Structure 1
């Protein structure tokens, strides 16, 4: 398991609330949307059916209304007195007979007023004469040149309904109307079945409103009518087809008599208001349910989540090193068992840490004592060996100097049992050692010591330079077979003391250097080789930890540098 894996940010309490509310809310939302959709469909179907019924009634009324106009045109076309005018040859003799003119004028207007909302009756004859309810005299107007006359059928049993725009010329020699007009026209035949002209019953297009009154009474509802060519016969806005909106209901019926498309439009505004009211009620209901479910889930989830959060906080403290934490909060049984297990684990960790600390302390002490015990006999043997060679090679007077140096070595090595001495004492110790070795090797060895003034009174582990110098002599200079030089530098950088022992001896190959470095990192007491340098490194690491210790650099025939990194300590 990867410890650093990113943890999901949503907490248990949040998830519990989401799940709890979701389980209740999702079905209610689905049910509400279903009810809303069903209600909307029901409302729209009802509105469409009502509109269709209204259009059917309008269509029936229009049929009845235009049936009366068609009957009027029929009776006028069959009137014998009206037919006789079509046989007149001299228009002047007719217009000169005032009694006949007045009689015909009254007859034609009688027909006009017999049916409501007829605006005018016009008769055009094949002989070129034209007569209307607007004039007493007969006028000459070429029938074939008039639009309505051309459209009027020559069949006896057929009537036509025509519509004309405002200010559109319908009849010759007559001023056009400034309103839209409807015309019911029918052919006129004499008793011999000969076509002698046509009758036009004219009315304003607003007469259609009579057929629609009180049928589509809802606000915003309207009807418009198109003829078979798609032109407007009637519209709430004269001559303009209204634009259909998506929120409106549109229904259509077909008028067989006039070949009209009657289209009804019912705005859904009123119905949508009812639907929106339902939406608002459902939204309020959902909000209240969500609020109640959230409160309940918080209460229920809190009893579970709060102990877990407490336990998590205690675990975080333990992770940061505080092993004094203890879980004692009241919680459900399962969480209580987790808390008990946590407490046992913390107690065991405390015991383990104390045990490890005690063992490590004893181990370090034993190792230090063993290392010190090993280094003293080793050094004493080498010193006595030097005195032995002096006795053989020189007279006894020179031995005094060597014995003095040896005494200094013993005194500083023992240090009354102290393991920490000053840098000055450590330098004095290694100087005494170098004096003894100088007596033995004479001109073969030379040395220099450079100590920064701010370092002399600083405290360090004792006997850390002598093993390095010894290593330089025996494994560097002596094995090279030539005279060599040892240089010691001591300086301070911030809270660290650095001691470097350099020689210009034989040096080490890369393989040998890596082997010695390996001994520094993985030293075992029973191992042989490089004991002095390993001893120094292990003593420093055991007391102060890394990165303190000994670091080596060497090149074949280029000498070796041993660098000690030691902390600045304050110890009596």
Structure 2
């Protein structure tokens, strides 16, 4: 009787406790579920918006890229510098520009059409549509772009602002073109894109009744899904109130993301009633499941708690030892159920950790080599296109001797740069490579600078990583000597110093301020700070440190108005030692 009474009292106690627990857990679960569902809806919608925005941005970025390519092309720059006394004088250049624009249009078939207009009356197009007005520089959009000196975006309109098309709805960019010789904006590049291509990305299904659209800077919808007309889009946007999901449950979910640099926004909207239905359904399910689980837990807890907790406690003790760093722990499984399986997996996990740690050591070695190759791959003679272009102009202008000298220098430059796949070359080869680079640049800049190279013959056969001098010389030319008026001089001084090799690249260019010099040295020492203008120098420094360690690398000194000096410090290694 006493035992039964105790059971009754325990039952009443656990009954009351169970009732309170069920109500509390159910309420908490409903609140958590509500927030989770809403957050999941927001997260899913944000992912859709982000993906769609990337696709739209890529499409619009193609328009910007085409504008930049056209603006910087030699043909466009040449046309803007040319004065045409008569309209007929434009025919040859106009034909070449039409062919050039047409070739670009075929390369990027997503673009509808491209046009170029200049203040000297030149007008070119990529398609065979007739111009509305060849003097499009007077167009108000063109005037606005020239005044702002930035690309402007025109919202979709039926038909083109610049040519007689077949009625397509077109999205347009108007970009001013600077004539690089005078620095004046003397032309306009127009790129048109069918709005339907953007609409195709907006067809992504957000929910049963949610949709995506793009609005302009005034909040007006301008592009919607392909299966929705402009009138239907405006009506749907008008019907949906713009509230955040954190407000009342029947308010709409609205997510916005800027579209490139257009000032427009990609908007995702989901009706609040649809969200509310999902939330209420999940709340009902969570409530029922919580009641069932709590009832079962109360029924089984008294009998199985000790049976379950005891082996878990032992396993927890083992885990604590592992947490303290003892990986030689081994747990003995006492049962053949889930707890026993968990114990076995614990042992397997420790074994796996041992294996992974061994693999990690090996992977770090491989990663070090991979980083070296990746950094070296970034340092390439990217001036090749400019060099070839200079050769073409020298041939056209009749300077065959200069073209031959540049071709021979370029051949030797590339030959040494490839070096039959070797990662290290002799100092003599590296300096020959640098000398050829200086010859090419001196021809390109019409003898703006002179140079000298000093190398002690006793260290000429020392081995160094290839392509460590070119980025430093390039930096000295472009940021030191090129901005300076008058002729300049560059000196490369190679000498032994104890067991090291020291290479100085010295120029008498414009130099740098103390703040800029300190910032560059901080970047070289710690890998932090501005890297844009010193990207090649930083890469050389990182390559040397990966190969030889912290004591070696690149240092920098500069005085404004007097010049700069890059110093490379390398260990002295001989060809005989390497073999």
Class of the TM-score when normalised by the shorter of the 2 chains: 0.3 to 0.5
Normalization by structure 2: what TM-score?
A: 0.38
Query: Given the two structures, how large is their TM-score scaled by the length of structure 1?
Result: 0.38
Say which one has the larger Rg.
1
